[in-house]
A and B are shown apart, each in its own frame.
Chain A
Amino acid sequence: MSETNKTDATVNMANLRGGVEYASQWRLMWDRFRKHRLALVSMFIVLAFYSIALIAEFLAPFAPDEADAKKVFHPPQMIHLFDTTNGFKFAPYAEAYTLTRDPETLAPIYVLDKEHKVAVTMFAHGFKYNFLGLIPTDIHLFGPKTHGETFFVFGSDRNGRDMFSRIIYGARFTLSLGLIGVTLSVTIGIMLGGVSGYYGGKIDWVIQRLVEYILSLPTIPIWLALAAALPKNWPPHLQYMAVTVIISLIGWTHLARVIRGRFLSMRGEVFVIAAKLDGCSEARVIFRHMLPSLASHIIAAVTLAIPSMVLAETSLSFLGLGLQPPAISWGVLLKEAQNIRSISAAPWLFLPGAAVVMAVLSLNFMGDGLRDAADPYSH
């Protein structure tokens, strides 16, 4: 739309319309979207989340599966930016703690080691990896100056693994594979729901019986059978992908049923009849005229589907079908926190839940912003 030819054309048209400046539909939408401050911020957060997932290795100070027997259930700690022991200078550091155990309860107790500080530096050398899968390096955004020392901004888990690094790595699975399922089920749901509601009659009958059929199928034995049937030499992400595809093949039914309901009530409306009489193709009537009226609902459905997809993993792992170690996702991390020990002694293990909430909220606000921007009636 910003090509020169096009601009010329709009200018010409604007001239024809009597000097009023004309902006394309997309342009108007973008302008409206920009005014929606929260939506804009949310969009940047979403982008940030995806960037984090993309360069997880660079951002994570430690390898996500690096266990440390001397640092189990380490509470989160601050990174102090300024060292004030000998005057005031910029020298980021973290306190060092040593682990002892209560002899009776065996609960971990961390004692401040006053003699020692963990110096933290930018662009530290750490574990080796390939940046973006291409460039081999061992440089990380930040990390301990001395290789082998540790600090835990988000605490550590039962095996002494750094939660911060694990959450960053988890974003990768959750925001990519996790969303494939959502996309797939929403697409199928809209297509079949739309067709069912638009045409009614026999097609509707068949699709609705299909929905009933799928809703009646028990999922647990399907998962159990799948767990047994999936080839065991498949890597974890491939296994998981197969599972998400199956989830979405079942999950589309709800959306389809709702969209069908709305379509049934909408297809008699004046604007639909007008579009039909105008000679619009059926696809155009459905996708250009009817679906946009449901934009809010679809956005809500998508944003609602994401957390349930993330959480589906946690319930699947009861059956041995969620992601298996060494794969990490937010769902897996949340699953690991589901016991009394974590609730009572290590509440920081719930931080992945906060990550899920943040991701979903920003996706939702972004979606709301898009919807408002696209709605010609909104103010």
Chain B
Amino acid sequence: MRLIPSRQLAIVVAAMATLPIAASAYTQAPMLDKLVQDKKLEPVDKRLPATPQVIKPLEKVGVYGGTLRSALRGNGDYNAILRLVSPQNFVRWTMDFNGIEPNLAEKYVVSPDASEYTFSLRKGTRWSDGTPLTADDILFSMNDLVSNKQFYSNNLAPFTVNDKLVQVSKVDDYTVKFKFAGPYISFLEQLATPLAQHPLLWQKKYCSQFHPKYNPHVADLVAKEKAKDWAQLMRNKCGDTEIATRWTNPERPTLDPWIIKEPYGGSATKVVLERNPFFWQVDTKGQQLPYIDRVQLSVISEVETIVLAAINGQLDFQLRHISGIQNRPVLAENQAKGAYKIFGSANVNANAAGLWLNQSTKNEKLKKLMRNKDFRVALSLAMDRKEINDIVFLGQGAPWQLGPYVSTSKWFNQKLGTQYTGFDAKQAGELFDKVGLSKRDADGFRTYPEGGRVSINAIAMISNPVHIDVLELIRKQWAKAGIELVIQSSERTLFYDRAANNQYDISVDVFSGGQDASLNPRAYLSIHPQESRMSLEWTKYYLSNGKNGEKPSPSMQKRLDLYDKWQTAKSQAEADKLFKEIMEEAANEFELIGTIRPALETGVRKANLMNVYQKMPSGWTYPTPGPTLLQQWFFAK
């Protein structure tokens, strides 16, 4: 799926289409003209790198101006801001999510065994405060923060190989080398996701004042700001991934196209970002990006209110929160009124509503059945997926089990996706009989050979009403087959609490890891401590090297062994082969039961908003819409 440069060449990837543009040819947004005239800002040529990255606009070269309006959901939605400005790292995804291209790195070199990565920065790239970006900033981020035990008590997974943290060294002022303890073939992909933003997150000049190594008087600052320790102060001032404070300090220098003007505080009703006058990309005509002056985000607590704001034409772009298929009719009907267009975005997940059968359920009688493939197949065949699709997904999905559903995906596996998706009550009945459930009680439900009704409890989150509707249909379909399903819907924290305490037989949630299966393999491998709910006990076993938890099934053990080999594969071909084996083994074992593959998600964009990549996938590893490069969006006049 992803285009990773072949290792043998130890290739050098040049920046895309660096057209020779005369130094005086760069132009800037009109809103900056006055500042330059007043000498409050240097001329645009001085602010840009010597060879700025040239972005070829998707449809056509744009014009400056305008405010892009979108919505955040309540107080905890900081990732929505990140998705709009996009994590600015060495590399980024191509728009179609099929490959990697250079971003802040002008070029990069990968060693033949994929354990050393050398990144070269563009000379003259500047932070939003005008300070040049150099190798020292990266060393500060990696060596003084990422590897500082007071700041991160544990090794960050994206920078760790063989339990050892990456070694980062400076080659020259604009070149850094990342050296891992072994081969790490997927590092570039990790850098393109939002999970490994750390190298370019912190500016040394500003952030070092909160670091005890650089500021011996940091304790005074800590006391003044009423923080607990320097690490907390650092996070409050300079942010971190996954916390809101990244967007609460307008002073924090960044490399983003827009920078915070009105911060995302505890009672903010709107957040405003304004263009970064030092942004380091230009279009093919030499106009400094971004085109759009401001990004304005309304903080709205209730999803239905966001839908209303969209209908009302108050949002220029919105996908997050309103993308559910149920909103499609009302959003589509009001297009003319709100002067917007809807678009469909394909979710990268593997299933919209998957049943994670708990292989380690505390119900011993049921556990035996759960581990019996015939039982799982029978459960799957007893489901009428067409009914589920027609009712809950407006007929827009399709029956599906697991794995990417886009047939061009590298990880596409027909068997994994479509086996046992037909509705066959007769065969299901035979299989149930075969596994020893031929007897029924007075209410018509099947009983265990030892006695007692086969009653399965399923947990779901209230915040996903779609999942509860799906369960409600399955409950009736399974009842016809003689299996009782008890639905327990709850608030999110309680859902995770029940999962963590192994108090469930089935957990209903999306299957993530479709198109991005290798980046997000939690549905194929028991490796995620909260989400691999085929058995969190197996995850514990794997993560503790067998000290805790429960020994995984032979099939899972085989997959985990393959995964360990995959992580340290030396070549892309070898890695891909290993991962395909994992998928094949998952298909043979048929651990999880899927229902419907995700239907296209519905987003809205203002009718005159141009250069929007309409086929953007929707996901977190591809932080939609970030990689579609919002800096080249513009409003047609």
Contacts and interface: CB of A to CB of B under 8 A. Distances in A.
B494 A341 contact: no
Interface string A48-73: 00000000000000000101011010
Interface in A131-183: 158-160
A225 to B, nearest CB: 10
Report whether over half of chain B's contact residues are helix, strand or loop; otherwise say mixed: helix
A228 interface: yes
B489 A320 contact: yes
Interface in A304-352: 317-320, 324-326, 338-341, 344-345
Contacts of B503: 232
- Grouping DSSP codes into helix (H, G, I), strand (E, B) and loop, the A interface class, with mixed when no group exceeds half, is loop
Nearest to A345: B329
B386 to A, nearest CB: 8
B304 interface: yes
Contacts of A24: none
B387 A69 contact: yes
Nearest to A63: B476
Nearest to A319: B491
A21 interface: no
Interface residues of A, number: 33
A224 B491 contact: yes
A227 B327 contact: no
Contact of A340 (B330, B462, B490): B330
Contact of A67 (B328, B387, B488, B494): B387
B109 interface: no
Contacts of A85: none
Contacts of A72: 391
A106 interface: yes
A320 B473 contact: no
A192 to B, nearest CB: 33
Interface string A103-146: 01111100000000000000000000000000000000000000
B33 interface: no
A101 interface: yes
B65 to A, nearest CB: 31
A344 B329 CA distance: 10
Contacts of A69: 386-387, 390-391
B330 A344 contact: yes
B473 A106 contact: no
Contacts of B497: 228
Contacts of B392: 159
B329 A107 contact: yes
A159 B391 contact: yes
Contacts of A104: 332
A146 to B, nearest CB: 21
A159 B489 CA distance: 18
A325 B487 contact: yes
A224 B494 CA distance: 8
B395 interface: yes
Interface in B372-407: 386-387, 390-392, 394-396
Contacts of A317: 462
Most buried by B among A67, A317, A324, A340: A340
Contacts of A233: 486
Contact of A341 (B327, B395, B472): B327
A98 B231 CA distance: 64
A331 to B, nearest CB: 15
A344 B394 CA distance: 17
A233 B473 CA distance: 20
B561 interface: no
B243 interface: no
Contact of A106 (B332, B386, B490, B491): B332
B326 interface: yes
B201 interface: no
B591 to A, nearest CB: 24
Interface residues on B, range: 35 or more
Among A72, A105, A108, A160, residue most surrounded by chain B Cβ atoms (within 10 Å): A105
Q: Of A320, A338, A339, which is in contact with the most chain B CB atoms at under 10 Å from its CB?
A: A320
Nearest to A73: B329
B487 A341 contact: no
Interface string B486-530: 111111011001000001000000000000000000000000000
A105 B488 contact: no
A108 B69 CA distance: 31
Interface in B438-495: 457, 462, 468-469, 472-473, 475-476, 486-491, 493-494
Contacts of B493: 224
Nearest to A69: B390
A105 B391 contact: no
B329 A320 contact: no
A74 to B, nearest CB: 13
Contact of A232 (B457, B462, B472, B475): B457
A101 B395 CA distance: 9
Nearest to B332: A105
Given A101-B395, A106-B329, A227 B387 contact: no
A303 B408 CA distance: 63
Contacts of B491: 224, 227, 318-320
A232 B497 CA distance: 14
Contact of B472 (A65, A160, A228): A65
B391 A160 contact: yes
Contacts of A341: 326-327, 329-330
Given A105-B329, A227-B491, A319-B491, A159 B395 contact: no
B35 interface: no
A345 B491 CA distance: 28
A158 B326 CA distance: 10
B333 interface: yes
B487 A324 contact: yes
Nearest to A65: B476
Nearest to B311: A340
Nearest to B599: A106
B328 A105 contact: yes
B475 A326 contact: yes
A227 to B, nearest CB: 6
Contacts of B494: 224, 227-228, 320
A106 B396 contact: yes
Contacts of A159: 391-392, 469, 472-473
B307 interface: yes
A352 to B, nearest CB: 17
A158 B522 CA distance: 32
Given A106-B329, A319-B491, A320-B462, A325 B457 contact: no
B462 A318 contact: yes
Contacts of B333: 105, 107, 344
A135 B76 CA distance: 55
Contacts of B328: 105-106
B488 A232 contact: yes
Contacts of A320: 462, 489-491, 494
Nearest to B503: A232
9 contacts: A65-B476, A67-B391, A67-B472, A67-B473, A69-B391, A104-B332, A228-B497, A325-B472, A340-B304
Interface of A: 65, 67, 69-70, 72, 101-102, 104-108, 158-160, 224, 227-228, 232-233, 317-320, 324-326, 338-341, 344-345
Cβ-closest 5 pairs across A and B: A105-B332, A69-B390, A107-B329, A320-B490, A69-B391
Given A107-B332, A227-B494, A320-B494, 7 more contacts: A105-B332, A106-B325, A224-B493, A227-B491, A325-B475, A340-B308, A344-B333
